[in-house]
Amino acid sequence: MDNLNDISLKQLQYFAAVAEFGSFRQAAFRLGITQPTLSNQIAIMEKALKIHLFERTRKGINITPQGRELLLSARRVLEEAQGFISQSTILSGGGIGTFRLGVTPTLGPYLLPHILTPIHNKYSDLKLYVRENAPSELETGLINGQHDLILTTLPIMSSELVVAPLFREPIKLALARDHRLAARLTINREDLLGEPVLTISEHHLFHRQITELCEQVGAHVLRDYEGTSLDTLRQMVVMGMGVAFLPALYAKSEIRNEEELRVADVDGINVVRNHALVWRNTSPASSFYRQLSEEIKSMIETNLASDILPASRKTNHRKTITSNH
């Protein structure tokens, strides 16, 4: 195939973007080019390869089986190219580049404000394109090349990924101020027996964690009143619909009105979420990611020492909740 010499990294980037977004229009918008330009470049690439990468239908586009086979290779080539550029700029003392960071919606908005400014101060040319998704989707997206690295809640199941534990985040109990337990100096795990507990919708890992906790203490999960976000959950607690367990960083960030809610620990329960920075074990930028993870861990332990716990060296990536009876 003599024409393969005409295929550029830019065309591979276009191909991967269309595959990711499933739309020429959305991919063109993300790439900052016109849709005709994108379509023309994909057509040139298809002609050089002598195969169709996408099937055009009235409802949109679908990647062809041949395109699907080539997509993984295209993403590997792009990752290697990005790694080459990143390594060369680091060696030359120049900028770092742009990386796609996936974060969970129950962690990212409440952690990133504490670490992005210090990261930017150290790496002025490092740019992080942040996207939110549920932990399972982040893990899949990382494996598929949609993210360069992810900031997520453990466990991570894939052996293809490198996991750098960052910290452990306690879970707090939130109660309305007129709740029967709100005035108690100490709340015990036995006090939660039969207590109605609100939780976030079930597609979140946090839902499964809280369900497991409720089973341990004999509390009752209100499945008919699941919140779509932590903010919604907090508002339902304020209205007296039940109590809720909330991540410590969320509570620190969003619950400032002590007249509405009481945030408390529960004696006899030590519940934590383990968080980590994760990347592919094949990534050319692995050494930089490792360095970045150590710096983030140090920032967190310095700036949030009163709210989080240091990462455990014996963290079990398949277990995210512990309960001391």
In this predicted structure, the answer to whether residue 316 has a pLDDT above a threshold of 50 is no
Note down the domain range covering 14. 2-78
320 lies in a domain?
no
- 122 and 209 fall within a common domain: no
The tens digit of pLDDT for each residue in 19-71 reads 988 889 988 988 889 999 999 999 999 998 999 999 988 777 889 999 988 99
Average pLDDT value for residue range 251-261:
84
Arithmetic mean of pLDDT over the chain: 86
- Write b or e for each residue in 294-320: b if 16 or more Cβ atoms lie within 10 A of its Cβ, otherwise e: eebbebbeeebeebbbebeeebeeeeb
147 lies in a domain?
yes
83 lies in a domain?
no
Q: Tokens standing for 61?
A: 């586009």
Picking from 78, 103, 124, the residue at the C-terminal end of a domain is 78
- 149 and 187 fall within a common domain: no
Picking from 26, 45, 78, the residue at the C-terminal end of a domain is 78
Average pLDDT value for residue range 175-182:
92
- Which pLDDT does position 196 carry in this prediction? 94
Considering its fold, how many domains does the chain have in total? 3
- 123 and 160 fall within a common domain: yes
- 287 and 267 fall within a common domain: no
The tens digit of pLDDT for each residue in 276-285 reads 999 999 887 8
> Nearest 5°: CA angle at 198, between 194 and 204?
125
Q: Quickly count: other Cβ atoms within 10 Å of residue 193's Cβ.
A: 11
- 199 and 240 fall within a common domain: yes
- 178 and 238 fall within a common domain: yes
Of 156, 239, 231, the closest CA to residue 201 belongs to 231
What's 79-113 look like in SS3? HHHHHHHHHHHHHHCCCCEEEEEEECCCCHHHHHH
- 157 and 279 fall within a common domain: yes
Q: What is the CATH number of the domain that holds 123?
A: 3.40.190.10
**Strand ranges, E, within the chain:** 54-57, 60-63, 97-103, 126-132, 149-153, 161-176, 196-198, 220-221, 243-247, 261-264, 272-280, 309-310
- 178 and 148 fall within a common domain: no
Percent of the chain with pLDDT over 70: 91
- 24 and 102 fall within a common domain: no
Q: What is the CATH number of the domain that holds 27?
A: 1.10.10.10
The span from the CA of 74 to the CA of 144, in Å, is 11
Question: Which of 62-66, 205-209, 293-297 has the largest mean confidence?
Answer: 293-297
In this predicted structure, the answer to whether residue 207 has a pLDDT above a threshold of 90 is no
- Which pLDDT does position 323 carry in this prediction? 37
H or E element at residue 24? helix 24-31
Q: For the ranges 143-147, 185-189, 317-321, which has the lowest average pLDDT?
A: 317-321
Higher pLDDT residue, 117 or 228? 117
Average pLDDT value for residue range 302-313:
87
325 lies in a domain?
no
What's 137-180 look like in SS3? HHHHHHHCCCCCEEEEECCCCCCCEEEEEEEEEEEEEEEECCCC
319 lies in a domain?
no
- 62 and 150 fall within a common domain: no
- 148 and 281 fall within a common domain: yes
- 177 and 266 fall within a common domain: yes
Find how far residue 38's CA is from the centre of its chain: 29
The tens digit of pLDDT for each residue in 150-174 reads 999 998 989 999 999 999 999 999 9
pLDDT-derived band at 321 (thresholds 50, 70, 90) equals very low
89 lies in a domain?
no
